[in-house]
């Protein structure tokens, strides 16, 4: 109970201090306003009097002057708040005065002489006969500005003190009322709402600490008043559980010296053991967390991008600094003055540094050269690259801007490890290497590398290749991309290529070229519970059919979404018995909306879905549900787990991590992966049903095969696929890439 009274006392003290502060300001403002009004009235009256008095001083003297001045003074007697008027000659001698003015004011020769000597008005507040008076003294002038005397105007100022007193009295009564109301309200809230729930929350935390995880988490979520705290407890609990699991597995691995799967904990131990606290710096165009202001509230999202999925897992395990373009409209206000912010928001593990780009830089570097030139050049998707000189110049400028930001961070770091991501920064490795030869730089190219003939159409191919060869290691997803790159180098620039070591030596610097098939994190082998399988996550999309297919992609013309929809149309036309029994949900995150080609493609996908639905839909069923919206991994996981199959129709892809995310989510070892044979993932995921995405009939037949596949065959395929993804997960990818970059093996 004493805590309640202590809180109430603190609130009363705070309210009292605030009230007195506001009252003090109000009193000062009121006093200033009333004083200004007094002064303005005095000035107006003085100006009016001077017009008639100053000629009198000039034209008359002696007793006649005094008589005329006295008559003028008497005219202004008995006015509201005017106590009286006095007139003086240039020697400070009183010539005329209103009756009733106190002698202490009238005989104040110092103030009168001071006004004439300075030739400026004088004002003051004086207390005479127990009342406050406002005194205004103004010099009188004759011809050529000669001082003739002085005019004194005295006004009653007691009403100012009376007004101030009323303010203090009213505010005091208001304060007492607020204290009473606040005390009663706070007592009720604390006693019956807060403390009671705190006690229950403490009990739940105790249960969690004792190991009662599943039940207590559901109980914590019931607290509406403490829901933010309950969510944080949930995150902490999950992190604690994962840490305990990883530590246990790591201890077992060390003890038994088994070739256990790579985990975040093992990667962290690897970095500590082999890198000896050397810092890791990642550079990418896309940032892992984007902060946006939505309806006066700042929210963050994680972009739907394979690079972010992979590198985020590595940075959470290893820490370090990630430099990326700050693209969110609330990124600046969530970052410090250097553009830095600790992430992830729930449990910070590394630092994100944002680089600010203006619209011209984004247009030229990202939309123009990266996405309209290099991207279609690398991905054979029948889209012609567009090469503009102004885009190329901006691409070089932004590469230099990021290099400057990185060099500033590694200025005092010995032998930094720099991991450059993707085609947005092909020139960055050579810039870094020239300034910091001791830096060990790795460039990972997340897209395919084209044939030498295809790449030769790029006007600035030599500059791009030379920029990339500044790296110590260049990583691609598969060996074919490495072969294409070496052949391209051999045709374009003078260099020494070692096909045994798969290296290129150019200008005395050697670059290793290796395949590092990127993956996702898969460390959870716990079987799926029945209640998890029956949550029906697709019902929120209005899907109630027996069979459900799922597609998850960025709205990118290389993902083959149009071909996918036409394959579904073929399937339902060929096998009409599945109508009203099968639905397909397409999750499509908006991508590169600044480029016209992507906006046109998004519109084409929307129109194609509408066309097929108009052709096949009934009153209560649609074959295709098209969701053009970003979904987090937490939102996608239950969809992956509940779908009958995941359909990936990429027309060309470096790897495609959606396929591996689907596998990682299926801890029930059910479900079927339908995978384009033109993805990098198809080389290792042989147990998936593979097809040519340009052949819609193959897509349709693959869907039928997936829906009719026996559970035993699904189990055998998925178990094998999960074994592959678990054996070569993102932590192993990172360890092998870092090991080669750091020249450890």
Residues pairing with 292 in the sheet? 299
Q: Tokens 């060309």 label which residue?
A: 652
Range of lowest pLDDT (168-177, 364-373, 642-651): 168-177
CATH of domain 530-728: 3.40.50.2000
pLDDT at 529: 52
- Out of 379-393, 401-415, 531-545, 592-606, give the one with best mean pLDDT: 401-415
Q: Is the pLDDT of residue 314 over 90?
A: no
Domain segments of the chain as ranges? 2-162, 226-260, 268-515, 530-728
Relative orientation angle of helices 264-275 and 306-318, to the nearest 10 degrees: 60
SS3 for 554?
strand
Kindly report each contact of residues 343-347 with a partner whose C-beta sits within 8 Å and lies 24 or more positions away, as own/partner: 343/288, 343/289, 344/289, 344/316, 345/289, 345/300, 346/232, 346/235, 347/235, 347/236, 347/239
Q: What is the mean pLDDT of residues 640-669?
A: 95
SS3 for 282?
strand
pLDDT at 165: 87
Give the DSSP letter of residue 559. G
Residues pairing with 674 in the sheet? 647, 689
Q: In whole angstroms, how far apart are CA 119 and each of 19, 143, 639, 677, 744? A: 44, 15, 87, 97, 88
Q: Is the pTM of this model over 0.85?
A: no
Q: Is the pLDDT of residue 92 over 90?
A: no
Q: Is the pLDDT of residue 474 over 60?
A: yes
* Sign, Cα dihedral of 177, 178, 181, 187: negative
SS3 for 535?
coil
pLDDT at 224: 54
End-to-end CA distance of the chain: 65
Q: What would the pLDDT profile of 122-138 be if each residue is shown by its tens digit? A: 888 888 877 888 899 99
pLDDT at 214: 46
In percent, how much of the chain has pLDDT > 90? 53
Residue 102 confidence class, pLDDT cut points 50, 70, 90? confident
Q: In whole angstroms, how far apart are CA 524 and each of 264, 480, 631? A: 12, 32, 22
Q: Tokens 């013309």 label which residue?
A: 557
**With contact defined as beta carbons under 8 Å apart, do 284 and 424 qualify?**
yes
pLDDT at 338: 95
Q: What would the pLDDT profile of 22-35 be if each residue is shown by its tens digit? A: 888 888 888 888 88
Under 8 Å CB-to-CB from 206, ≥6 apart: which residues?
none
Instruction: Name the CATH topology of 2-162.
Output: Beta-Lactamase (3.30.450)
Q: Does domain 268-515 have CATH number 3.30.365.10?
A: no
Same-fold call for 2-162 versus 530-728 = no
SS3 for 412?
coil
């Amino acid at each position: 109970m004493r805590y309640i009274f202590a809180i109430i006392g603190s609130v009363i003290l705070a309210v009292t201090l605030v009230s007195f502060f506001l009252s003090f300001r109000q009193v000062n403002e009121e006093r200033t306003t009333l004083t200004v009004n007094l002064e303005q009235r005095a000035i107006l009256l003085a100006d009016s009097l001077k017009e008639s008095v100053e000629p009198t001083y000039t034209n008359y003297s002696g007793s006649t002057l005094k008589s005329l001045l006295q008559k003028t003074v008497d005219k202004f007697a008995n006015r509201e708040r005017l106590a009286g008027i006095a007139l003086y000659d240039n020697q400070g001698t009183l010539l005329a005065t209103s009756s009733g003015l106190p002698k202490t004011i009238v005989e104040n020769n110092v103030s009168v002489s001071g006004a004439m000597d300075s030739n400026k008005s004088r004002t003051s507040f004086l207390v005479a006969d127990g009342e406050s008076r406002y005194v205004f003294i103004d010099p009188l002038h004759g011809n050529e500005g000669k001082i003739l005397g002085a005019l004194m105007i005295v006004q009653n100022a007691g009403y100012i003190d009376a007004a101030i007193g009323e303010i203090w009295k009213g505010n005091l009564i208001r304060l007492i009322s607020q204290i009473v109301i606040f005390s009663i309200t706070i007592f009720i809230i604390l006693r019956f709402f807060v403390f009671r729930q705190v006690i229950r929350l403490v009990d739940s935390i105790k249960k969690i600490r004792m190991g009662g995880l599943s039940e207590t988490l559901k109980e914590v979520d019931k607290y509406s008043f403490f829901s933010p705290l309950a969510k944080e407890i949930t995150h902490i609990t999950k992190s604690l559980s994962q840490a305990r699991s990883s530590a246990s597995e790591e201890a077992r691995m060390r003890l038994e010296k088994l070739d256990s799967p790579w985990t975040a904990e093992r990667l962290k131990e690897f970095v500590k053991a082999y890198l000896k606290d050397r810092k890791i710096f990642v550079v990418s165009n896309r940032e892992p967390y984007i902060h946006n202001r939505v309806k006066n509230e700042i929210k963050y999202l994680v972009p739907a991008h394979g690079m972010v999925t992979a590198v985020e897992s590595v940075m959470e395990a290893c820490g370090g600094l990630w430099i990326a373009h700050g693209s969110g409209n609330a990124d600046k206000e969530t970052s410090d003055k250097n553009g830095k912010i600790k992430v992830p928001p729930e449990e910070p593990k590394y630092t994100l540094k944002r680089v600010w780009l203006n619209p011209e830089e984004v247009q030229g570097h990202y939309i123009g050269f990266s996405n309209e030139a290099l991207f279609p050049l690398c991905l054979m998707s029948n889209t012609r690259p567009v090469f503009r000189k102004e885009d190329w110049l901006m691409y070089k400028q932004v590469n230099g801007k990021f290099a400057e930001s990185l060099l500033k961070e590694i200025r005092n770091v010995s032998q930094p490890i720099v991991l450059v991501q993707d085609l947005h920064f092909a020139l960055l490795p050579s810039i870094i290497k020239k300034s910091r030869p001791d830096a060990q730089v790795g460039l990972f190219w997340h897209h395919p590398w084209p044939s030498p003939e295809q790449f030769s159409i790029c006007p600035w191919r030599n500059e791009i290749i030379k920029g990339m060869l500044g790296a110590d290691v260049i990583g691609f997803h598969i060996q074919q991309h490495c072969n294409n790159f070496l052949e391209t180098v051999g045709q374009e620039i003078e260099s020494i290529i070692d096909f045994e070591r798969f290296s290129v030596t150019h200008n005395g610097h050697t670059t290793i070229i290796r395949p590092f098939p990127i993956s996702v994190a898969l460390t959870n082998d716990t079987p799926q519970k029945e209640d998890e399988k029956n949550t029906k996550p697709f019902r929120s999309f209005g899907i109630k059919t027996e069979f459900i297919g799922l597609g998850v992609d960025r709205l990118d013309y290389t993902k083959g979404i149009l071909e996918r929809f036409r394959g579904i149309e073929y399937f339902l036309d060929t096998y009409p018995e599945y109508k009203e029994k099968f639905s397909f949900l397409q999750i499509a995150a908006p991508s590169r909306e600044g480029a016209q080609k992507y906006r046109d493609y998004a519109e084409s996908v929307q129109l194609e879905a509408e066309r097929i639905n108009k052709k096949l839909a009934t009153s209560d069923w649609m074959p295709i549900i098209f969701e053009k919206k970003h979904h987090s991994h937490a939102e996608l996981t239950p969809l992956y787990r509940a779908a009958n199959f995941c359909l990936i129709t990429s027309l060309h892809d470096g790897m495609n991590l959606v396929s591996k995310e689907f596998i990682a989510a299926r801890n029930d070892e059910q479900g079927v992966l339908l995978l384009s044979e033109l993805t990098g993932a198809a080389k290792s995921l042989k147990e998936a049903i593979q097809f040519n995405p340009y052949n819609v009939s193959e897509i349709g037949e693959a869907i039928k095969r997936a829906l009719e596949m026996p559970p035993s065959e699904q189990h055998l395929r998925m178990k094998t696929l999960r074994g592959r993804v678990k054996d070569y997960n993102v932590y192993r990818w990172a360890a092998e890439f870092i090991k080669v970059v750091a020249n450890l093996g």
